[in-house]
Structure 1
Amino acid sequence: MGRLPRIVIMVLLVAAVAGGVAWKVTDPGDAAVPAKADMGGPVEPRVDGNRLVDARTGDTWVPHGVNWSSFEYACTQGWGYSSITSAADADQIAAAIASWSVDTVRLPLNQDCWLGTRGAPVSDAETERTAEGYRAEVARFVDALHAQRIVVILDLQSRKRETEDEFGNIAMPDAGSIEFWRSIAAEYADDRSVMFDAFNEPYSRYDEVTASYAFELDWTCWRDGGCAAPVEDDKSELTGRTYPVQGMAAVVSAIRGEDAEQPIMLAGLDYANDLSQWLDHRPDDDQLVASFHNYNFQRCKDEACWAAEIAPVADEVPLLTGEIGQDDPGLPHLADYMAWADERGIGYLAWVWWDHADDPMALITGPAGEPTTPYGSTFRSHLLGLSGR
């Protein structure tokens, strides 16, 4: 379109103001274009082809944010539902996260704490903890994040160990996972600013004792279930006991059965790092998002692999990097991937928003959200740059 005379632009501006329409002009010689409406509240994600869009406007939405950890383990260790201490604390944490221009927070959850199974959540001498209390704490933090216009991803991350007050990550969903998702979906079906991450990191289990796989997950079982996985998590000693795996199709069906229509993230094999056959094995649903985890110590960790295996998936469906991080803060891995993903409209969520001085992947150094250096500061500066701040 050719340039409009300035007098025409002024007429348009006057008419727009009179009609209650907001306009913006970035250059006096350019035509006026409608500004994005301030809808209030967080984005309401919806899948449209290979994009996530805001259902309110149809605008493309690329998530950028962080993982917030502790709901997956505090409740099994007996010292709290999470590291949040009060409603005011929840509000302060949410505000600190928002100050980085974060628009999405992924909350890893514990299956047993949500359901009240295996003696979880664990009480102590002073406090009795219940599944109802755990759910209420999750809801309080979701509300605090929404108040900062942040989309929340609820993620099935862990289980309580059977015989000790600890947590772990099993290889694939089990029957309890289906119950978990029915309950989550029923509770959040009307919250359009929530997404679901069906299962954190599907994996095969190698047995160091026998030097062979005790469980080798393939794509058919990933989708349909039916194979037998170890009951122990990947940090516990194998006993030979197994459980029947529930596939991703069963998880999707459980969520949809509660009339929850929000996008569902499905992580690939090899701790969510392998998406090589994701497209061929995805369940039949039009609101699926491919979830990719990307650390410097995983197999698919460089641009050659991203181009060969990740980009083709992103060409077909929305792809979100549910976790990204590096165990050596001085590496260029984080910056390299963000630059690559930005060129392709792929979102990413950094691991992890917590203040642990001995963790190289800690993003912050205090409750106000001061970034670690260089890991946290690299991520924070990048997000602020994307938002123009």
Structure 2
Amino acid sequence: MPRPPRRRPRLFRTLAVLAGAILIAAGLAMPSALSTAGAAPAAAAPPPVLHAEGNRLVDAEGAAHRLLGVNRSGGEFACVQGYGIFDGPVDDASVQAIADWKANTVRIPLNEECWLGTDNIDPRYAGTNYTSAIEDLVQRVQDHGMTPIVELHWSHGRYTGNSAGCSDVHASCQKPMPNAQYTPAFWTSVASTFKDDPAVVLDLFNEPYPDRATPTTEQAWDCWRDGGTCPGIDYEVAGMQDLLDAVRDTGAKNLVLAAGIAYSNDLSGWLEHAPTDPAGNLAAAWHVYNFNACSTASCWDAQLAPVAAEVPLVAGEIGENTCSHGFIDSVMEWLDSHQASYLGWTWNTWNCSSGPALISSYDGTPTAFGAGLRDHLRALDT
């Protein structure tokens, strides 16, 4: 498991400074050389604690702030597939490479069974081993001045209906909705872990798609918010209100994201069905790819603009399977014009034509697709 570079013990550093001072006094060392040799880079400013104010995210001083960056996939699948916790390095250098793109946010997908340590997961990658690794990555992201978003990506529950990702009851694929058996407990644990770190953002569920199971869209939105027994889904569902309640019942005031239906691509019923947040710190999450139904400016104007006018809008995943960036260029332009947030999928060295991948190396070398996001982020006046 990758770890940050080891720091020299405090006593060792103190002795080194004293020894250097003696050499300077004796004329055996140049003060300028001593002042730069081995000097640690300047620490990045910590990420802001964010709050939803109208349709904007604001920091503690009330200044508007957008979440702009990347997804770092791996924590949702490596553990359940039995070969690790992350896919590729998550050490200090690899996180710095993300910051070098002028990203200010990293979204970290999670697996609820690995976090909770259920007995189907290899203990090396579950329970405290998993949670400690996630906490380390969250801290590393913050050490580089970026906001971490932790989100539930894969969850428990057997679903074999329309558009099923797998027939496995375990958290080995995307399910249409969270489940009442484990997901509230997952969010109680995650929120308890990060409630004293309010700069961490909590994203309730990756890509709900109850609309593929229910006979009507209205039933899908009711299932999305209220959970319970949903048509076409065989397990008891935990709705967005259940999950938000689990978070707030811990005392956590962190910003929370709630994604819409149709794999987070449909926000048409979000305002009408938004869960009630006693902390008043809720934003709408949206995903868009070139192959989604709502992938045109006319759809965004009709469906997204009303949401973005009322609450903060965070495009938690943007991407395309063309290994180019023409589509996300248009997405970013639209989101910029509405002062919304967005994150590219994904900071992994995959084949960018079969699954959108931003990089070909963890040193930050972009794919042709990733170059579009990188150059756009670097050009923003933020």
The normalised TM-score by structure 2 is 0.80
Match for residue 369 of structure 1?
364
Match for residue 190 of structure 2?
184
Q: 1:261 to 1:100 in 2, by over 3 A?
A: same
Match for residue 270 of structure 2?
278
SS in structure 1 opposite 2:244?
helix
Q: What percentage of residue pairs aligned between the two structures are identical? A: 37
Q: 1:217 to 1:137 in 2, by over 3 A?
A: farther
Counterparts of 1:248 and 1:334, CA distance in 2: 28
Residue range with higher mean Cα deviation, 322-331 or 149-158? 322-331
CA deviation profile, 1:315-373 (whole Å, cap 9, x unmatched):
00000001100111246210001011111101100100011136451101112111111
Query: Retained in 2: the 8 A contact 1:68–1:105?
Result: yes
Match for residue 228 of structure 1?
230
Q: 1:214 to 1:310 in 2, by over 3 A?
A: closer
SS in structure 2 opposite 1:271?
helix
The alignment status of 1:44 with 2:49, answered yes or no, reads yes
The alignment status of 1:143 with 2:139, answered yes or no, reads yes
The alignment status of 1:219 with 2:227, answered yes or no, reads no
Query: Retained in 1: the 8 A contact 2:263–2:287?
Result: yes
SS in structure 2 opposite 1:167?
coil
Q: 1:335 to 1:134 in 2, by over 3 A?
A: same
Counterparts of 1:282 and 1:275, CA distance in 2: 10
CA deviation profile, 1:7-49 (whole Å, cap 9, x unmatched):
xxxxxxxxxxxxxxxxxxxxxxxxxxxxxxx993112111111
Counterparts of 2:151 and 2:91, CA distance in 1: 19
Match for residue 109 of structure 1?
110
Match for residue 307 of structure 2?
313
Question: What is the aligned length?
Answer: 327
Counterparts of 1:289 and 1:97, CA distance in 2: 24
Structure 2 residue ranges without an equivalent (≥5):
1-42, 159-167
Match for residue 345 of structure 1?
339
1:72-111 matches, within 5 Å, as 72-83=76-87, 89-111=90-112
Match for residue 17 of structure 1?
none
Match for residue 301 of structure 1?
295
Counterparts of 1:248 and 1:161, CA distance in 2: 16
1:120-135 matches, within 5 Å, as 120=121, 122=122, 128-135=124-131
Supply the AA of the counterpart residue of 1:154: V
Give the root-mean-square deviation of aligned CA atoms.
Answer: 2.4
Supply the AA of the counterpart residue of 1:61: H
Counterparts of 1:159 and 1:98, CA distance in 2: 30
Counterparts of 1:352 and 1:227, CA distance in 2: 34
Cα distance, 1:228 vs structure 2: 3.3
Match for residue 153 of structure 1?
149
Counterparts of 1:386 and 1:60, CA distance in 2: 15
Higher strand share: 1
The normalised TM-score by structure 1 is 0.79
Counterparts of 2:178 and 2:217, CA distance in 1: 14
Cα distance, 1:283 vs structure 2: 1.4
Q: 1:93 to 1:387 in 2, by over 3 A?
A: farther
Structure 1 residue ranges without an equivalent (≥5):
1-37, 232-241
